[in-house]
Amino acid sequence: MSALVEIRDLWIEGRSDETWSPIINGASLSLNKGEVLGLIGESGAGKSTLGLAAMGFTRDGVRISKGTVLFDGVDLTLASASKKRELLGKRIAYVAQSAAASFNPAHKLMDQHTEGPVQHGVMSRAESVKDGIELYRRLRLPNPEEIGFRYPHQVSGGQLQRAMTAMAMSCRPDLIIFDEPTTALDVTTQIEVLASIRDIVEQFDTAAIYITHDLAVVAQMADRIKVLLKGDEVEDADTRTMLTHPKEDYTKSLWAVRAFERPQKPAVHTSATPVLSVQNVSAAYGKIAVLHDVSFDIHQGRTVAVVGESGSGKSTTARCITGLLPPSQGVIQFDGQSLPANYKQRNKDQLRQAQMIYQMADTALNPRKTVGEIIGRPVQFYMGLSGKQKRRRVEELLDEIEMPAAQYIDRLPSELSGGQKQRIGIARALAAEPKFIICDEVTSALDQLVAEGILKLLARLQDDLKLSYMFITHDLATVKAIADEVVVMKDGEVVEQGPKQDMFAPPHHPYTDLLLSSVPEMDPDWLTNLLNERGVDNIGDAAVDKMS
């Protein structure tokens, strides 16, 4: 039997500044009917480009320079535009990363759902509407009868993603390309989208290419995994083999990231004064209350991870601590002394002692200043150093973050990689010689290997300099890796807090339990087991709703 999709020696180039540079260098893949292939790689690996090329489609400024893409015997690189239109939507469908942006805001979901079947002559509109409702039901969307007659902006993100999967299914295609369909979702929402996608692909025996950067997700979804690195194919094997016996070094290093974990530090002496103490803090944006009675302590040399999903109030807590958002109630104490609520009333030393590292290194560094100027400013501002002394201190700091000063000191942020930018952010915080640093999702915009490097650096600095960290994150793997204590937040309240080892062992608060169990694991049977354990109706939003 010949394969459904057969890509042979495909080369793809992208245009930048009038020249063409390679994106994919000679990729090959084949996919049988009903098979699910996982494409994984870090950002810039070319996985989306390859996924779209499997549909015979390239974005503007991208071209296929060599190779063939055979779909059911038809070479899509040579096919005429009208021939390709016959296949797209009808036999090959696409599910995009952001459903909110990929649904046309001007039409109702059902109108967009039926467009494919009606235009391709697969079904009449009435049949397609009926079928759509049935698909919505199978994808476990709430109110399947009614939800299709809403506009996209009236439906939540996780539901839109499932509606888009339904739309892809509307003509019963032979192949669906899933392009990072759950990346933008919270973990508890992600799980129900994953479950419903997997079910429906199995039910209709559809072949799929599942593109993602998340290993644990791909382990649940794919029969076979292909690893890409900067446009080159690294390794291709069936899921279980790939997970247990990766061959290539790159693949092994990807797998190993998950294993990084710092040992739990012994409990702090109860009488010790915490470096930072948040006491009964409540805060509001205007009239909307966002924080309710939040309290926790951070001791010297310890890391407190503040965990929660979007909207849980973890970043607002950081704004209260820094004084950007004065709390409506409660106090922030530093070394046993109350800090003024507004940062404008704090003195230079108080400001110096608490530093911050941001999520997006791109917006955290002034693009017009060199590395030397960025790190040099706090050195000059707080320490009063200038000239040669200042330069020597900047060089020391660059050493500290493992970036050779001679090479980097005169560079602009735009000439650095994402991980290097984040390191400069760390050096800028260190330059103030603080006791306490707030790390706001510092690794979530980075690829896993790079993120691991940053986490290791932060851990080493903590040991060397006795720093205290408040680590804001939504990623439980990061928590496992670096935290000593954990604070779980939901809807502006602290749900549970305690030492890491206690938090990751039962008994849990129900929400912590839900959060923990929703994090995909590398075990390919994890999703199946979880669903068996909890039942299909007890995951994701439904479970969250039941709790509150």
Partner 1 sequence: MSTLPTLMLLLLGVAAGGWVLRFAGQKATGNAPVFRDMPFAVAFGYILGAGLLAFSVWYYFQPTLTEAGTPNAGVVFFRWAVQFFIVATIAAFLFRALGRTVGTQFSKKMFRQMPLTASFGVLVVIVYAFTAIFAAWLAPHGQEAIFAKVNVLPGGNAATGGDPLHPLGTDQIGRDLLSRLIYGAQNTVGIAFVTTCLAFFLGGSLGFLAATLQGWLDQVLSRAVDVLMAIPSLIFALLLMTIASAWAGSERWLLTVYMILIIAVIDSTRVFRLARAVGLNIVVMDYIEAAKLRGEGMTYLIFKEILPNATAPLLAEFGLRFCFVFLTIASLSFLGVGIQPPLADWGTMVRDSAQFINFAAFSPLTAALPLLAAGAIALLTVGVNFVVDWMLHRSSGLKE
Partner 2 sequence: MQSVIRIILQRLGLGLLTLFVVSIVIFTAVNMLPGDFAQAILGQGATPAAVESIRRDLGLDQPPITRYIQWLSGALQGDLGNSFAQANFASFVGADSGVRTTVAQQIAPRFENTMFLAAVTACIAVPVSLVLGILAALFRNSVFDRATNVTTLTSISSPEFFLAYVLILFLAVLNPVLPSLSNIYDGMSFGERLEKTLLPALTLTLVVTAHMMRMTRAAIINLLASPYIEMARLKGMSPMRVIVKHALPNALAPIINVIALNLAYLITGVVVVEVVFVYPGIGQLFVDSVKIRDIPVVQACCLIFAAAYILLNLTADILSILSNPRLRHPK
Q: Which residues in this chain contact partner 1 in the complex, by CB under 8 A?
A: 15-17, 61, 78, 80-81, 322-324, 343, 346, 348, 351, 356, 358, 360, 363-369, 377-378, 381-382, 428, 432
Nearest distance, CB of residue 185 and partner 2, angstroms: 16
Decide whether 75 or 236 has the Cβ nearer to partner 1.
75
Nearest distance, CB of residue 405 and partner 1, angstroms: 21
Residue 178, contacted partner among partner 1, partner 2, none, CB below 5-8 A by kind:
none
Q: Closest Cα partner for 308 from 518, 519, 482, 472?
A: 472
Decide whether 292 or 369 has the Cβ nearer to partner 1.
369
Nearest distance, CB of residue 45 and partner 1, angstroms: 20
Decide whether 436 or 511 has the Cβ nearer to partner 1.
436
When asked if residue 101 is in the footprint of partner 2 (CB under 8 A), the reply is yes
Residue 323, contacted partner among partner 2, partner 1, none, CB below 5-8 A by kind:
partner 1
Decide whether 136 or 358 has the Cβ nearer to partner 1.
358
Using CB under 8 A, which of the segments 5-13, 95-103, 198-206, 212-220 binds partner 2?
Answer: 95-103
**537: which DSSP letter?**
G
Nearest distance, CB of residue 92 and partner 2, angstroms: 8
HEC string of 67-90? EEEEECCEECCCCCHHHHHHHECC
Using CB under 8 A, which of the segments 85-93, 132-140, 244-252, 275-283 binds partner 2?
Answer: 85-93
How many CA atoms, within 13 angstroms, populate the side-chain half-sphere of residue 447? 19
Decide whether 337 or 347 has the Cβ nearer to partner 1.
347
In this structure, the number of other CB atoms found within 10 A of the CB of residue 205 comes to: 11
Write out the binding residues for partner 2, residues 142-201 only, by CB under 8 A.
Answer: 150-151, 153-154
Decide whether 162 or 352 has the Cβ nearer to partner 1.
352
Residue 514, contacted partner among partner 1, partner 2, none, CB below 5-8 A by kind:
none
Q: Are 422 and 453 in contact (CB under 8 A)?
A: no
User: Where do we find the tokens 């760390």?
Assistant: 426
Largest Cα separation within the chain, whole Å, is 78
Residue 364, contacted partner among partner 2, partner 1, none, CB below 5-8 A by kind:
partner 1
- What letter represents residue 330's amino acid? G
Write out the binding residues for partner 2, residues 1-60 only, by CB under 8 A.
Answer: 55, 57, 59
Q: Helices H, strands E: what count in the chain? A: 24, 20
Structure tokens at 159: 């539901």
Structure tokens at 502: 């206690």
H/E element, 212: strand 207-212
Decide whether 270 or 363 has the Cβ nearer to partner 1.
363
Which of 12, 39, 64, 88 touches partner 2 by CB under 8 A? 88
Nearest distance, CB of residue 91 and partner 1, angstroms: 21
Residue 507, contacted partner among partner 1, partner 2, none, CB below 5-8 A by kind:
none
When asked if residue 387 is in the footprint of partner 2 (CB under 8 A), the reply is no
Cα 460 off chain centre by: 25
Which is it for the CA torsion 317, 323, 327, 333, positive or negative?
positive
Decide whether 61 or 498 has the Cβ nearer to partner 1.
61
Using CB under 8 A, which of the segments 23-31, 114-122, 252-260, 459-467 binds partner 2?
Answer: 114-122
Residue 105, contacted partner among partner 2, partner 1, none, CB below 5-8 A by kind:
partner 2
In the sheet that holds 175-179, the strands lie side by side as 92-95, 175-179, 207-212, 36-40, 224-229, 232-238
Nearest distance, CB of residue 321 and partner 2, angstroms: 33
How many amino acids of this chain bind partner 2 (CB under 8 A)? 29
The string of DSSP letters for 265-306 reads: PPPPPTTSPPSEEEEEEEEEETTEEEEEEEEEEE-TT-EEEE
With vertex at residue 268, the alpha carbon angle to CA 357 and CA 499, rounded to the nearest 5 degrees, is: 70
Decide whether 175 or 531 has the Cβ nearer to partner 2.
175
**Which phi and psi (to 5°) does residue 494 adopt?**
-80, 120
Residue 299, contacted partner among partner 1, partner 2, none, CB below 5-8 A by kind:
none
When asked if residue 94 is in the footprint of partner 2 (CB under 8 A), the reply is yes
Q: Closest Cα partner for 435 from 469, 394, 385?
A: 469
Decide whether 25 or 380 has the Cβ nearer to partner 1.
380
Q: How far apart are CA 348 and CA 51, in angstroms?
A: 53
Using CB under 8 A, which of the segments 26-34, 105-113, 314-322, 351-359 binds partner 2?
Answer: 105-113
Decide whether 49 or 359 has the Cβ nearer to partner 2.
49
Q: Closest Cα partner for 254 from 230, 229, 272, 233?
A: 229
Which is it for the CA torsion 461, 465, 468, 470, positive or negative?
negative
**153: which DSSP letter?**
G
Decide whether 51 or 313 has the Cβ nearer to partner 2.
51
Nearest distance, CB of residue 153 and partner 2, angstroms: 5
User: Where do we find the tokens 């660059």?
Assistant: 398
The answer to whether the peptide bond before residue 507 is cis (omega within 30 degrees of 0) is: yes
Q: Are 394 and 375 in contact (CB under 8 A)?
A: yes
Q: Closest Cα partner for 203 from 72, 90, 34, 1?
A: 34
Write out the binding residues for partner 2, residues 50-69 only, by CB under 8 A.
Answer: 55, 57, 59
Cα separations in angstroms, 32 against 7, 207, 224: 12, 7, 11
Which of 40, 64, 96, 257 touches partner 2 by CB under 8 A? 96
**262: which DSSP letter?**
P
Contact footprint for partner 2 (CB under 8 A): 55, 57, 59, 84-90, 93-94, 96, 98, 101-107, 115-116, 119-120, 150-151, 153-154
